[in-house]
Structure 1
Amino acid sequence: MQFLNSMRISGCILFFFLATLNVFAQEITVLDAESGNPIANIAIFNRDKSKSTVSNLNGKADLEVFSKNERIILRHLSYDEYTTTKSQIVKKGNRVYLDLKPEELMEVVMSVSKWEQQKKDIPQKIESIDARTISFTNPQTAADVLQNSGKVFVQKSQLGGGSPMIRGFATNRLLLSVDGVRMNNAIFRGGNIQNVISVDPFTIKNTEVIFGPGSVIYGSDAIGGVMNFLTQKPRFSFTDSLTVSGNATYRFASANNESTSHLDLNLGQQHWASYTSFTYSDFGDLVMGEHGPESYLRNNFASRENGSDVLVPNSDAQKQISSGYDQINFLQKFTYRPNKVWNYDLGLYYSETSDFSRYDRLIRPNDEGDGLRSAEWFYGPQKWFMGNVQVTKQGKNKFYDGVKLTTAYQFFEESRNNRGFQEINRSTTTEKVHALSVNLDFENKKIGDLRLYYGAEYIFNKVRSEGIDTNIETSTSIPAASRYPDGATWQTFAGYINGEYKLKPNFTLLSGARYSQVWVDAQFENTFFDFPFDEADLITGAFTGSMGFSWFPRADLQITLNGSTGFRAPNIDDIGKVFDSEPGSVVVPNPELEPEYAYNAEIGVRKNIKDKLVLKGAAFYTYLVDALVRRDFEFNGETEILYNGELSNVQAIQNAAKAYVYGFELGLEAFMNENWSFASNLTVTEGTEEDSDGTDTPARHAAPTFGDVHLIWQNQKLKTDLFLNYNGEIAYEDLALSERSKAYIYAEDENGNPFAPSWYTLNVRSQYQISNALKTTVSLENLTNQRYRTYSSGIAAPGTNLILGLSYNF
């Protein structure tokens, strides 16, 4: 009997526990996905609205009226609508995270001061590309993220590349930053670079592009603009239990038979969180379009057969043989927040490509014009690693309201491998850069209507460089000339202050100043070249500043005006490089260099017409003095030297020019109703370089006129964009001299001279949200199968290209 009574009591306890659990399971909490704060007044109802409830001030709501698998909808004016079931919510710990609608976000930017600022208060033009936009455009690389924006021009010498051009500047006159850490290093060159592809587009939370000089905050190189890639942050739980979420994505593109797989995983508790991401991409040879210049076709290619190089006819001349490659990207982030004052972040980034051909060198003809100059020309694996530790403190202090210490170590590795047609020796140069950086940044917002941002920066780069020649028949190698002086160092120390003063509620003034000191040391040894100097020991300083305002004379009209200066200090690539710049020319070191300076002015206007039409425009003018350019030079009194067995014209980087770049940018957005919208962008840039002898030539990195037009339809589930991309012509007389010498990548005009033809593509892309967890993206690019090359690019763009993407959130 006692046993039976015990069983009854146990049964009652179990029943009470299960009943309590069931009741508890009916209650859910609705939270903001970004902040973790509870959201009140969320309307929750079924499809026919016969059942409903509302979340309270703590974000809690009782779902008892709904059945287990009944479809329920969560709706709020400020948040994206969310459809789910009660059983799905239970699986996720009785929590629902909602995303703010983009139009509800008070748009802030991080890149101007390294702290959050209202975008409307910034006088410089800044464009933000968020994760939703990136997901919709479904890009292959981070270079395509920029290009798809319609506001940044991107050049490609090969498929594994992408060199942005902004307001007439490119390469080492633009600055790349990842999570606030400078990516530019001591061997960033004036020629086109492809380091931007090391950033995984799947991990980008937001990309901010500053147009015009950003040297006050970022120092050397930020002359034409700054591109700051902000990657995803680990997300906390906001509850007592561990939360697990993630995403798996697959992408396919037909034009190069791309296959990309991506997986990320987030683990979060109240005080710590982890974010892990891995992406693998396999890109095949790119197929160009059908309708366009025949000179772009790949009619033959070099092949090694029976110990000899031969020209092999290409069975499909639209297929750009030897353009494919593969790439892996890994990102691991940890964050620890013991309280509301301190935050500790660790980021580990790694990217590596396979070997990839420099396609424009593979199609370069020989001097006779009946064959190819190179049998091989490829980059070795491009590797990038960064370890980044950031400590942030928020709270009241006598001198600051926020302080941020950022330390980073980066490692870069790249190599160049080339072998002439019918030659047996392959020349290889390998470069490795070790980069250390320390940034200390402060925010002070207690001084009435004045907010101050100030800090200091130290950067140290060490370059290791070696060269070897390999006999491909015997596999024996011997030392050869390196590209850079081995062991060279580049370092800088700087301090800055930036102020934001709200003179009136509708008028904000921004001003800043920075001083940078730069040290360069390179030792030259004469094993392969008889240098007329033993060492380059440069110490240079640069003062830069900016001042501008943002004014709203009316609530629907904004006017901005900004003046700023920028600089670029000579780096190891400028001072110590030995390489073949173009057929018949060789660049040699020049230790007598000074920084180049840019003076910039811009004015911007933004008009909002009844929230139905938004017009944006900006005009700019930049004057560059003491420009570092490649010009003819004498080496030991000689204008020609023997390099790689060829008598070559001697050139060097010199402070030998001035440059004038000006233009305007226009934008339009029209909202016809809740489903239909229209958007368009247009950029016009003109540039001229003036040599020391007074000779004017077109600027190399002044992009052609380019723009796009988008017609968009969307509802809660589907978004479709029908759009046109356009590039204007650059005639022969408007081509830079260095571009005219590369006639093989251009079309011929009626006089037989190289020029860049205008082109357009018609495209469509759609994204459909199948469920809260599953969405698909389908794009069809270049519908009319145009054959074209973007200006200065060595590889032709894709022909008709079907892109498929499938993404699953868990």
Structure 2
Amino acid sequence: MAHVVSAMASETSPEDLTDLSLEQLLNLEVISASRLGQKSSQAPTSVSILTANDIRTFGWRTLAEALNSMRGLFTSNDRNYSYLGIRGFMRGGDYNSRILLMIDGQRMNENIYDGGYIAQEFMLDMDLVERIEYIPGSGSSIYGANAFLGMINVVTKQGKAIDGSQLAGEIGTFDTYKGRVSYGKTLKNGTDLLFSASHYDTAGVENLYFPGYDSPETNNGIAHKMDDERADRLFGKIKFEELTLSGGYVDRGRHVPTAAFDGIFNDPLFFTDDKQFFSNLKYEKALNENTSLLLKGFYQGYDYYGDQAYIVNDARVINHDEASGRWWGGEAQLTTHPFEGHRLIAGLEYQYDQRQRLLNYDLDPYLPYLESHRNGHRVEVYLQDDIQLLDDLVFSAGARLDYHHMLKNLQLNPRVGLIWSPLTNTQFKLLYSSTFRAPNAWERDYNAFGFVDNPLMREEQIKSYEAIAEWRSDSNLRLLGTLFYNDISQLLEGHLTGDADGNYALINAGRFHAYGGELEAEKRWSNGRLLKASYTYSLLTNENRHGAWANASPQNLFKLHYAEPLFDNYLSLGLESIFIDSRKNGLGGKVNGYELVNINLSSDKLIHGLDTSFGIYNVFDSHYQMLGVSENIDVLRMNGREFRLKFQLTF
């Protein structure tokens, strides 16, 4: 729901982002209609940006792969969905509901699980992405619900960035195939068009071995042909003068090889399917040199179903799980400079959750477990003032008031920031913010299979403190250091109810503290060479366990990226090394840390109009570990080395 205007603060036009220098990136207006600030270097947060050229150079196929490369972020995969952790905090199985995910400023978290999907479930093909903006918690909390840990905004390309028709194809290890057709153009009357359709399909690993199921009754622990996945996507955008109409659709299906949720191991029925769509109409108008207006309306939907078999009284029973959501709403925002030294932003957002439906039942014999139907309103009012106290000192103050139909009380959350720029190339920032997360429909109403609903749920809360120092040289070298502290309270956790049946209920009992710091150095050369390294240390403590190291939390992250143009720019080399530290798995054990090394070679100059790339993912063939999903699968081994080949023809 939050708005992002993706404009340049210099003469560089949005479609030229593939060749931005570091200085231009730092002058880029992100989240600029702003609640956050003007240029990224001056915003009251520590902004991270990946460009389309970065995506091409390093060959990231999904949003999850791109996010895993960014400072302070890490991903996990349970062979069904991908999950994002921020600064040491991750909750496996929450479908990224504590992160606000947006496309061109439009909220993509659906209204059932509040899920923000980042792998093949994500709405966009990565070839349509102009850039990715990441704002950690302190800077994003002004956006309210779901910007609990941070915000990800994916900015799409304009049609003139393609300037014609494109055909693209990819092949890879494990019988992986992808095809895409796109058209983009700016017409003579100024209308900009972009349309795209793509299909992805993979057979996956033919035989996955799980030691916890190693017995003759469970196929000796081998899940056979249970790793396949497919995804279909559509996206379109039309921009004419002040109006922009956009929409997208994704349909992703996958077999689940892990027998999660007490399913029968190696049963080919276990399949999940996620569909999501959005439509958005946006009007942006500069009323005068000091004031601009944004109006927006949207309609969105999400549907999920999953079938699995399990054993009841020695009989195989098929269970059907289903969710369906529809929501619509709009936003009005005014940005103005009412008097010298002030930049004021005021806005109103509205969302009506028209449908929030959950169903679960056994098919034969029919036995219902869950049927929930909800609807309700969300209203948010926000106000922010960026005050120029001195030539080199800005005080940014904002507040947001939320009504959410899942909560009884109004939510008021402030954000303040102090930005000192003693030199034009140096900034120091002190930030404080708080925000909340309301229970979602699934958490509120799920009351089957050992869980009972809890009508007394309250909001989760977080208070964030951050100090940032940033310096950049005239030669495109940037150095960044941060210190952060997050106080997380009233987190929803499963606890025994004490009844005779041994049921669980979700209650607001969790309390966590996160302490840490980040270092990042980035150097971009004019010929396309890039060297970037980042290190994050975070200690997430569970205060209900006497400050013990929390589950699923790596304490150390190290990312290294190097790009080099070869043979007079006929080839581009992208080298990526990612280290993720060990994590506790919640079952009394630990998954090992790992280092992932990827290499990608790309060229758009061998043949006119043809862009090719060849990637080796997981160069050293490491079957690195992810968090398990059950006592039988406490550790998940990921795939080994993969090869990827891609062709893209523009005409």
TM-score by length of 2: 0.87
One-letter code of the match for 1:184?
A: N
1:78-135: CA deviation from partner (whole Å, max 9, x where unpaired): 999xxxxxxxxxxxxxxx9997543463322126727982111112111112222122
| Counterpart residue number, 2:374 | 488
Q: Secondary structure at the match of 1:456?
A: strand
**2:7 is aligned with 1:172:** no
1:661 corresponding residue in structure 2: 514
Match 2:413 to one of 528, 544, 561:
544
Pair 510,710 (structure 1): closer, same or farther in 2 beyond 3 Å: same
**Do structure 1's residue 257 and structure 2's residue 175 form an aligned pair?**
yes
* 1:463 matches 2:370: no
Corresponding residue for 2:258? 360
Quick one: distance in 1 between partners of 2:349 and 2:476? 44
**SS of alignment partner, residue 637 of structure 2:** coil
Deviations 1:628-681 (A, max 9, x none): 2222224xxx242xxxxxxxx311111113211121122122468957543211
RMSD over aligned Cα atoms: 3.4
- 1:226 deviation in Å? 0.8
Provide the rounded CA distance (Å) in 2 between the counterparts of 1:190 and 1:207. Answer: 18
| Whole-angstrom distance in 2 between the partners of 1:111 and 1:199 | 22
Q: Which residue of 2 aligns with 1:268?
A: 186
Does the CA contact (< 8 Å) of 1:390 and 1:406 recur in 2? yes
Specify the code of the residue in structure 2 equivalent to 1:515: L
Q: Does 1:404 align with 2:294?
A: yes
The partner residue of 1:282 within 201, 205, 209 is 201
Letter in 2 for 1:500: D
Quick check: 1:782 aligned with 2:618? yes
1:702 aligns with 2:553: yes
Q: Which residue of 2 is the match for residue 344 of structure 1?
A: 243
Alpha-carbon contact 1:143-1:161 (below 8 Å) kept: no
- Retained in 1: the 8 A contact 2:159–2:183? no
- Alignment pair present for 1:557 and 2:450: no
Change (3 A) 1:695 1:590: farther
Check conservation: 2:35, 2:384, Cα contact below 8 A.
Answer: no
Task: Supply the distance in 1 between the matched residues of 2:646 and 2:118 (Cα, whole angstroms).
Answer: 28
d(CA) in 2 for partners of 1:655, 1:592: 9
Q: Which moved more, 1:764-773 or 1:563-572?
A: 764-773
How far apart in 1 are the matches of 2:18 and 2:487? 44
Q: 2:595 pairs with 760, 785, 792, which one?
A: 760
Tell me which residue corresponds to 2:632. none
Q: In structure 1, how many angstroms separate the alpha carbons of the residues matched to 2:409 and 2:121?
A: 28
The sequence identity of aligned pairs, in percent, is 18
Q: CA deviation at 1:613?
A: 4.2
Mapping 1:296-695, distance limit 5 Å: 297-298=209-210, 311-313=218-220, 321-337=225-241, 343-354=242-253, 356-361=254-259, 375=267, 378-396=270-288, 401-420=291-310, 423-461=315-353, 462-471=355-364, 478-482=366-370, 485-520=371-406, 538-580=407-449, 586-609=450-473, 611=475, 613-634=477-498, 638-640=499-501, 649-670=502-523, 677-691=530-544, 695=546
SS at match of 1:780: strand
Establish whether residue 723 from structure 1 lines up as the match of residue 613 from structure 2: no
State yes or no: 1:223 paired with 2:112. no
Of 49, 53, 76, 1:132 maps to 53
| CA shift digits 1:514-552 (9 cap, x unpaired) | 1111113xxxxxxxxxxxxxxxxx422111111112222
In the alignment, structure 2 segments of 5+ residues that lack a partner are 1-6, 630-634
In the TM superposition, what is the alpha-carbon distance from 1:320 to its structure 2 partner? 7.3
> What are structure 1's unaligned runs of at least 5 residues?
1-33, 40-77, 81-95, 237-242, 289-295, 304-308, 338-342, 367-371, 472-476, 521-537, 581-585, 641-648, 742-752
Out of 82, 88, 113, the residue aligned to residue 162 of structure 1 is 82
For the residues of structure 1 that align with 2:167 and 2:620, how far apart are their CA atoms?
32
CA distance in 1 between partners of 2:120 and 2:442 (Å): 15
* Aligned positions, number: 625
Per the alignment, do residues 556 and 181 of structure 1 end up closer, same or farther by CA in structure 2, a change over 3 Å counting?
A: closer
Once the 2 structures are TM-superposed, how far is the Cα of residue 156 of structure 1 from its aligned partner? Answer: 0.9
In 2, the alpha carbon distance for the partners of 1:603 and 1:447 equals 29
**2:65 counterpart of 1:144:** yes
Distance of aligned partners of 1:622 and 1:470 in 2 relative to their CA distance in 1, 3 Å threshold = same
Provide the TM-score with structure 1 as the length reference: 0.71
- The answer to whether the Cα contact below 8 Å between 1:503 and 1:509 also exists between their aligned partners in 2 is yes
Q: Confirm or deny: 8 A CA contact 1:129 1:207 kept in the other structure.
A: yes
Evaluate the alpha carbon distance shift between residue 756 and residue 99 of structure 1 in structure 2; reply closer, same or farther with a 3 A threshold. closer
Q: CA deviation at 1:280?
A: 0.6
Q: 1:701 to 1:183 in 2, by over 3 A?
A: farther
Moved more, 713-722 or 594-603: 713-722
Relative distance call for 1:791 and 1:312 in structure 2 (3 A) is closer
The 8 Å contact of residues 219 and 567 in structure 1, kept in 2 or not, is answered as yes
On the 8 A contact 1:668/1:681 being kept in 2, the answer is yes
Equivalents in 2 of 1:806, 1:286: separation in Å? 24
Taking a change above 3 Å as real, the CA distance of residues 510 and 232 of structure 1, as seen in their structure-2 partners, is same
Query: Does the 8 A contact of 1:285 with 1:320 survive in 2?
Result: no
